[in-house]
Amino acid sequence: AADASVAVSYLRCEYLENPLGIGETKPRLSWVVKSLDRGEKQTAYQILVAPTPEGPATDTGHLWNSGKISSDATTQVIYNGTALTSRARCYWKVRSWGVNDSPSEWSAPGMWTEGLLQTSDWSASWIDGMKIGSSGPIYTPAIVSAYYKAVDGSGNIADVTTLLKNKAQA
């Protein structure tokens, strides 16, 4: 790789660097190829994707090893590895071949995580202040203060809290 005339950098997944929680099961990967040589270009690439940082560090692609792909594509290369699941972590790197057919050094690693991909992955429940504590409510919900613009068109701010207190005392 010492005589390679191209270098790979700026890895992106779905147009972002190291995105978290993407919603694509076949994300698009992109990178930038640099060279100081006139007329140089990428003629092939190889992508490694693994579920841990150790995969790319040891040149292992447990989720996907594209092998050498003859192509000048550096944008929107579709992930074509093992099916991804919700919350999956993916660590990846790329290398390119130039016109002299020498591979570049591997890029610095990038990563992405998958979001919640299936409706069944989502779960939630309402937070109800009246149910906090085991022996009854801890507090009674109340309006502490509120400010609204006057509706009479004067542009003055009305202190609704004071108006409500005065009305309650009357």
As a whole-number percent, the residues of the chain with pLDDT over 90 amount to: 58
Q: Would you state the pLDDT for residue 153? A: 52
For residues 9-30, average pLDDT: 96
The region, left, alpha or beta by phi > 0 then psi within -120 to 50, assigned to residue 123 is: beta
Q: What letter represents residue 100's amino acid? A: N
Cα separation, 119 vs 126, whole angstroms? 18
pTM of the predicted protein model: 0.71
Provide the strand spans (E) within the chain.
7-13, 28-34, 44-50, 64-65, 69-70, 77-78, 89-97, 110-113, 147-149, 157-159
Q: Would you state the pLDDT for residue 98? A: 92
For residues 125-133, average pLDDT: 58
For residues 8-14, average pLDDT: 96
Residues 43 and 70 sit within 8 Å (Cβ to Cβ): yes
**Higher-pLDDT residue of 35, 140:** 35
